[in-house]
Amino acid sequence: MEKKAARNLFIWGTVICTAIFIWLTIDTHISIPKRTNTDQLTEEVVLGKRVWHKYNCNDCHTILGIGGYYSPDMTKVYSLRGENWLRLFLKNPESPDPRRRKMPNQKLSDEEIKKLIAFFKWVDAIDTNEWPPQPLTVAKVTGVPLEETAQVLKGKNVYNQNRCDLCHRIGGQGGIIGPDLSKVGDKRELQWLSKLIKDPKSINPGTQMPAYSQLSEDEVQALVTFLSGLK
Amino acid sequence: MIYESQKVAIKYFVISAIFFGLQVVVGLVLILKYIWPDPLIGIIPFNTARAIHTNLLVVWMLFGFMGGTYYVVPEESKTELYSKKLADLQFWLLLIGGLVGVIGFLFGWTAGRPLLELPVELKWAVVIVVLIFIFNVFMTMVKTKKWTAVQGLLLGGVVMLAVMWLFAIPFFKNLTFDYYYWWWVIHLWVEGAWELIAASLMAFILLKLTGVERMVVEKWLYIELALVLTTGIIGTGHHYYWIGTPGYWLWWGGIFSALETVPIVLMVLDTLRHVKHRKIEITDRLVLYWTVGCALFHFFGAAVMGMVHTLPQVNRWTHGTQVTAAHGHLAFFGAYAMLILTVVYYALPKLKGLTQFNQKRGFWVFWIMVSMMLTIGLAFGVAGVIQSYMQRGLGIEFLTVQEFMRPWFIAVLVGGLGFFIGVVIYIVDVLKIATHKPE
């Protein structure tokens, strides 16, 4: 090949591929509104995105898998954690466990938290071609599979929403300040557990665990049912 | 060196080296945060440090490219620079802009888009700096009667760099569009504009180093870059798998990004062929090492590591994990850091009129940096594979998995400390050569 032919290859190759790329871009523009539900892209969601930018969240967290790899991905955080959890966490993200990686408290206002959650909710519904993928197998959390009755699911929800996992762990997931609860159902009875949750100091005066007196009786019952199933 | 105005490149090279060193220091701060609880969380949290680490990279590479261009263009155009004053002005603007950006990050002045954190005011300032640069380079080329491929492609690369940067400026309401055009900057820079600049600078050095005919070198330069752009432009699609864009990108992106390896293989072969068929004795062993090392590392870091994890079937599991960090470090180092160091080790001694100088330090820099960056990249890679398997494959919670990756983060730290020694020797070497007084 002569130099001139090489130059033509360069010019025409670039022109043709740019044209294809622009064509694909136009088509992408046509399909994105539906795939990202732009009808639900409200002013509040946009303001939430601005909060996301203002605190430079994206340099620790990934979202749609892009950003810093220091902290969990935010794409599905809304469906994974739920609104209540997010509100509590964003208000005070610091883990009491000194050995765990921490998120600094950004001192977000309630208004900012609301907008940010609206943003996460909108992102959650983006059609991402099924990313992140469903795990191939789910690592076994406890020795015995949980029987997922309504009461157990409710209890699990109470456990998650109140961030018990900051101190306790189940099947290797969670904090290391409090005892491991993976087999707590073998060791403790329902009544003992519910007494502990409502007033930990009545059982162990030296404990660091805070009292969860704000939980309703129903919630405590659900939580201990869930815990006693962990064997 | 033939033309007086080429000397403007010296200060570009010096600042480039110093910012490179700062980038490595901030990198060490970052990896420490992965390993131990972070005592600096209130002063310089991870996100701020990451913004500084990545933006320093861009700034020191821009200094390197611009310095290299100011060295090459007069010699290619066979004339002095159009304006040495503009080149000086542009240097100071870039330096001040870079420093304001970095200090601004420390005070939370950010646009909050990863890698493009510079606030919008500074982004426009970058546009001005680059326009001055393009104007100066273009006017120099216009002065000449001869229009070489090296000049043309270099100018093309710089113009493309500027055009793509415009997509970094607006605020996007829709996150999917935000990232769609975010990649027009990130991807089309590193797999487009920067490749044009880097390959042209490398072609110039190969011409001078090996004495192979210009016809031959420039022909292969055209072919390489034709393949870079034909594969790389549509190859942007390998970033459009999971961000809300249509499913056909898995095909377009997957196929074209696999083809992106072809031009890089060709670059390795070209480099080796030019060296083999050299027309003059290669006396500068150090530049030869950097040139060949750059081609090989470029191939490994960018082509091999890149191709492996942009296959959609693999990327589904590795996307958003430390595998990307592994690829990022190896690719940037091989494709661009080594290229700039090649240019500096070629041009700087010539600018100072040194026909011979002690190359021992330069060889130390070469071997330390190459081995340590391999350590860093591979350790990140293992951490990323653990993360992909445990977090994505087994569904184990993020922070729990991070505990299992800790030994590999420690390996990154060890590599980083070694690399830091390399970069310190490099800065000392650059300063020694740059401040050399003729006897």
Q: Is the pLDDT of residue A178 over 90?
A: no
End-to-end CA distance of chain A: 73
**Cα B96 from Cα B157, distance rounded (Å):** 24
Q: Nearest-CA neighbor of B209 among B119, B133, B272?
A: B272
Q: What is the CA radius of gyration of chain A?
A: 24
Secondary structure class of A62 (helix, strand, coil): strand
Residues of A within 8 A of B108 (CB-CB) are: 56
**In terms of pTM, does the model score above 0.95?**
no
Contact B13, B67 (CB under 8 A): yes
Residues of A within 8 A of B399 (CB-CB) are: 72, 100-101
Beta carbons of B226 and A10 less than 8 Å apart = yes
Residues of B within 8 A of A93 (CB-CB) are: none
Residue count of chain A: 231
Residue B158's contacts (CB-CB under 8 Å, 6 or more residues apart) are: B69, B130, B133, B134, B137, B193, B197
Contact A215, A197 (CB under 8 A): yes
Element (H, E) at A79: helix A77-81
Mean pLDDT score of chain B: 96
Partner residue opposite B316 with nearest CB, options A67, A126, A131: A131
| Number of neighbouring beta carbons within 10 Å of residue B128 | 12
Contact A79, A117 (CB under 8 A): no
Q: Which residue has the tokens 């042209």?
A: B200
Q: What is the DSSP letter of A157?
A: H
Give the mutation candidate from B224, B233, B255 for the A interface (greatest A CB count, under 10 A).
B233
Element (H, E) at A63: strand A62-63
User: Residue A94 region, left (φ>0) first, then alpha (ψ -120 to 50), else beta?
Assistant: beta
Beta carbons of B179 and A66 less than 8 Å apart = yes
B360 vs A170: which has the higher pLDDT? B360
The CA angle A207-A209-A212, to the nearest 5 degrees, is 135
Q: Is the pLDDT of residue A144 over 70?
A: no
Which pLDDT does position B295 carry in this prediction?
Answer: 96
Beta carbons of B320 and A65 less than 8 Å apart = yes
Q: Is the pLDDT of residue A139 over 60?
A: no
Name the percent of chain A lying above pLDDT 90. Answer: 56
**Cα B334 from Cα B295, distance rounded (Å):** 7
Residues of A within 8 A of B406 (CB-CB) are: none
**Cα B57 from Cα B335, distance rounded (Å):** 13
Which pLDDT does position B221 carry in this prediction?
Answer: 96
Residues of B within 8 A of A28 (CB-CB) are: 180, 240, 245-246, 249
Token pair of A218 as six digits? 């129903």
For chain B (439 residues), the mean pLDDT of every run of 10, in chain order, is: 92 98 98 94 95 98 98 95 97 97 96 97 97 97 88 96 97 98 97 97 96 95 97 97 98 96 95 94 94 96 93 96 97 97 97 90 98 98 97 88 95 98 98 88
Partner residue opposite A6 with nearest CB, options B179, B223, B319: B223
Which pLDDT does position A121 carry in this prediction?
Answer: 98
Partner residue opposite A128 with nearest CB, options B242, B392, B396: B242
Q: Is B418 exposed, middle or buried (0-12, 13-18, 19+ CB in 10 A)?
A: middle
Q: Is the pLDDT of residue A228 over 60?
A: yes
How would residue A163 be classed by pLDDT, with cut points 50, 70 and 90? confident
Contact A209, A178 (CB under 8 A): yes
> Is B120 an 8 Å CB contact of chain A?
no
Beta carbons of B42 and A104 less than 8 Å apart = yes
Beta carbons of B243 and A128 less than 8 Å apart = yes
> Is B404 an 8 Å CB contact of chain A?
no
Beta carbons of A53 and B111 less than 8 Å apart = yes
HEC profile of chain B = CCCHHHHHHHHHHHHHHHHHHHHHHHHHHHHHHHHCCCCCCCCCCHHHHHHHHHHHHHHHHHHHHHHHHHHHHHHHHCCCCCCHHHHHHHHHHHHHHHHHHHHHHHCCCCCCCCCCCCCHHHHHHHHHHHHHHHHHHHHHHHHCCCCCHHHHHHHHHHHHHHHHHHHHCCCCCCHHHHHHHHHHHHHHHHHHHHHHHHHHHHHHHHHHHHCCCHHHHHHHHHHHHHHHHHHHHHHHHHHCCCCCCCCCHHHHHHHHHHHCHHHHHHHHHHHHHHHHCCCCCCCCHHHHHHHHHHHHHHHHHHHHHHHHHHCHHHHHHHCCCHHHHHHHHHHHHHHHHHHHHHHHHHHHHHHCCCCCCCCHHHHHHHHHHHHHHHHHHHHHHHHHHHHHHHHHHCCCCHHHHHHHHHHHHHHHHHHHHHHHHHHHHHHHHHHHHHCCCCC
Q: How does pLDDT run across B31-59, given as a tens digit for each residue?
A: 999 999 899 998 999 999 999 999 999 99
Q: Is the pLDDT of residue A140 over 60?
A: no
Partner residue opposite B41 with nearest CB, options A50, A52, A102: A102
